[in-house]
Structure 1
Amino acid sequence: MSAVSGKIGVGLIGAHDWAEKAHLPGYAAHERVHLAAICDVVPERARAMADRFGITTVYHDHHDLLADPAVQLVDVCTPTHTHLPLSLDAIAAGRHVLSEKPLATAAAPAFEAAAAAARQGVRTKLGFTFRYSPAIRQIKRWIEDGSLGEIFHIHGFEQNSQFLDPDFPLRQVSPDQPRDRLIPSSVVGYGSHLVDLMRWLGGEFASVAASMRNFVPERIVRGMTGRQRIPIEDGTVGLVEYASGTQGLLQSSYIAVGNYPGVEIRIYGSRGAAVARLISEFGVAESLHRAEADVVEFQPVRLGDEHFPPGTSLGTPWPELYYRNLIRHFVDEIVEDRSEECTFLDGARSQQIVDALVTAHFERRWVDLGGASA
């Protein structure tokens, strides 16, 4: 624990927009957290976030942050291709670590990172934001207590139509990415959320099939000059056979029209069904509906205050609402020695499934995953 009032000291790497909107408000709201340090390669960016959130120390080299004894938990909130190396450095330094997703763009190194954390005895959490939606967590409870009965179908949909505009900079592309064939992107960056939610709610995947496509042939890419002719995968549709026998359907998209965060989960069981729409519309962050087998009209479900992190409501912007919940769970898991949830191992399992979806597309076949339990 930190020397500051017995709180856990947090060091955040990466002072970009998502840190400002989601990560830092979550830590600032937690009574057991001391924001000890922040690091960014752009000094002005780090200083601005430090001033806004009362962070005591600013670094420009992450190795200096990792050497700071005031830091026990490291938050990696940086571009995709840096998640794995920064997380491995944090683990090697004996720090608990939260990383934005994806941890890696291939499953094998993600499994290796999970194993490294286990050897070091440090806790990990992956930024699968939407597990921490109050509506999603309620559906999880309904599945576990049998309220929905035997689960027949799980459908997951994701849309982020900001990339429909070719001049809106795409950020999820490694600068050295080869361009000689379709580059998996929406299924990696956003589809991984659906994979994680669908696996968390329905159990292990047994087999998948998929179709992927580029819809916007030229676009602006962050860090590059001018429009790039680059074959980005803008949309994926996948079929899932669960080990349990449940059927699944998923779709990720950069170009499907709709508001953020654009995640919808539908669960159909023998006793009822539930739909969670994690889409910021009309002043609320999400909605939840439920139907019964004998009363088939879907009815809205209003969750009580106990389902929300302290100080939040459906009117709280979704990045802050969900990340406050995620951070509260992670900090409390560490401080109270609770069971881990949404770890690097879950990230590796998700990436393994994403890899299988990509293989299924390119090889035009079903890909078996074995349904191995985590």
Structure 2
Amino acid sequence: MTITDGTKLKTVRAGFIGGGFMSGVHSRAVRAVLGTPAAVCSSSPASAERAADALGLGAAYHSLDAMLADESIDVVHICTPNTTHVRFAAAALEAGKHVICEKPLATSAEDALFLTDLAGRSGLVAAVPFVYRFHPMIREARARVSTGQLGTVLNVQGEYLQDWLLSSQDDNWRVDEALGGPSRAFADIGSHLCDLIEFVMDDRIMRLSALTRTVFGERTTHKAIRTEDLAAVLFETRGGAVGTLMVSQVAPGRKNRLFLSISGTVESLVFDQEQPETLWIGRRDGSRTLVRDPDALHPSAARLSTLPAGHPEGYQDAFNSFMRDAYTAIGSGAVPEGLPLFADGLRAVHLSEAVQRSARDRSWQQIPA
């Protein structure tokens, strides 16, 4: 992917903050769209050196300031613990860099609003990788809702279930409020689920009531844990649909079940991220399974089908498509339809905070428009 600099074209050069799993996902996507992973900084000089070597992230800078001072870096990817996002994203924007920041954008709505406003004033591209939007069959579902094929949407059911924290012996920095923020399961994966629901339906959650549970107050290295392992949510949208959500990181056998069912007066849809090549379509007179085939899909879905039918596309492919749109926006200044920006990250934080308040106060919570 190239960007225009006067009459010259140059390859987008990316700097990375953090050298863990997500930096690997981001860097593969950058390469897929012909960008250059050019630099990395991390929690220590040694960590930066290891990431540069293991992931091929170019030069290893020993400080963020040094990397941001590199005028050849066009965009900064923030792949660090949640509570660091605000400081790093603000520094990158103030240095004139485009930003792609992992979710949650921030751990408070106040900080997320600060970043959203800063990005708006800067004129730079500032995106959050809600990448499940980029599965072709999700775009097909969105197109069917928008063209009225479902009729009036009546109800929604969503699940995001994992089992990687199933045992008290399973531990991770995310359970630590000082690093992950006050919400864990919902901010981490529930945010993806809510973003997908609102994106597919082109509607917004208006109010909600939630219950949360911390199953393990102690894990191998972390004690007095307060962040939630699971959350259940009842909600109503502005368009009048009623919905339920279940989010859990302690669901045995579920590795990454992101499941969405939408029922209207005419048609129902079901999408399962663990089987992203299909969309179940139900009607009163029968049901069918729509298989990803670019020749048979809505143009918005066919655009994201990078492989012929029968060649499975998955999470990394969706991430690559997100990166293609983000880098297109960097290059052209025009934001492709559906690219999730900092405003979408702010929206997710508003929802996470509403879930926390509702669970604490046993109350219904109104969500800002």
| Bucket of the pairwise TM-score, normalised by the shorter protein | 0.7 to 0.9
Structure 2 distance, partners of 1:97, 1:314, is 35
Please point out which of 12, 25, 29 is paired with 2:32: 29
Contact 1:50 1:57 in 2 (8 A): yes
**What residue in structure 1 maps to residue 283 of structure 2?**
293
Structure 2 distance, partners of 1:313, 1:50, is 36
**What residue in structure 2 maps to residue 345 of structure 1?**
343
Structure 2 distance, partners of 1:90, 1:313, is 40
Contact 1:11 1:73 in 2 (8 A): yes
Shift of 1:53: 5.2
- Asked whether 1:115 is paired with 2:117, we answer yes
- Asked whether 1:356 is paired with 2:354, we answer yes
Which amino acid in 1 is paired with 2:256?
A: P
**What residue in structure 1 maps to residue 206 of structure 2?**
206
Please point out which of 41, 44, 52 is paired with 2:43: 41
**What residue in structure 2 maps to residue 103 of structure 1?**
105
Structure 2 distance, partners of 1:18, 1:317, is 19
Q: Secondary structure at the match of 1:35?
A: strand
Structure 2 distance, partners of 1:261, 1:85, is 30
Contact 1:81 1:174 in 2 (8 A): no
Structure 2 distance, partners of 1:319, 1:299, is 20
Show CA shifts across 1:210-269 (max 9, x none).
11112223213xxxxx35242331111101111111112111111012343221111111
**What residue in structure 1 maps to residue 298 of structure 2?**
none
Contact 2:155 2:241 in 1 (8 A): yes
Contact 1:2 1:8 in 2 (8 A): no
Which amino acid in 2 is paired with 1:231?
A: R
Show CA shifts across 1:318-345 (max 9, x none).
4422211111111112213223621111
- Asked whether 1:231 is paired with 2:233, we answer no
Q: Secondary structure at the match of 2:165?
A: helix
Matches within 5 A, 1:148-227: 148-174=150-176, 176=178, 184-202=183-201, 203-220=203-220, 226=221
Contact 2:83 2:180 in 1 (8 A): no
**What residue in structure 2 maps to residue 329 of structure 1?**
325
Contact 2:276 2:313 in 1 (8 A): no
Shift of 1:277: 0.6
For structure 2, the residue ranges without an aligned partner over 5 or more in a row are 296-301
Which amino acid in 1 is paired with 2:29?
A: G
Matches within 5 A, 1:66-105: 66-105=68-107
Contact 1:309 1:325 in 2 (8 A): no
Q: Secondary structure at the match of 2:173?
A: coil
> Structure 1 residues 269-278 or 143-152, which shifts more?
143-152
Contact 2:177 2:227 in 1 (8 A): no
- TM-score of the pair, normalised by structure 2: 0.88
Q: How many residues align?
A: 356
**What residue in structure 1 maps to residue 299 of structure 2?**
none
Structure 1 distance, partners of 2:219, 2:310, is 35
Q: Cα RMSD over matched residues?
A: 2.6
Structure 1 distance, partners of 2:66, 2:156, is 45
Residues 227 and 363 (structure 1 numbering): CA distance in 2 closer, same or farther, change over 3 Å?
closer
**What residue in structure 2 maps to residue 282 of structure 1?**
none
Contact 2:236 2:243 in 1 (8 A): yes
% identical equivalent positions? 25
Shift of 1:2: 8.2
> Structure 1 residues 69-78 or 151-160, which shifts more?
151-160
Contact 2:294 2:308 in 1 (8 A): no
Show CA shifts across 1:67-92 (max 9, x none).
11111111101111111110111111
- TM-score of the pair, normalised by structure 1: 0.87
Residues 317 and 254 (structure 1 numbering): CA distance in 2 closer, same or farther, change over 3 Å?
farther
Which amino acid in 2 is paired with 1:213?
A: R
For structure 1, the residue ranges without an aligned partner over 5 or more in a row are 221-225, 280-284
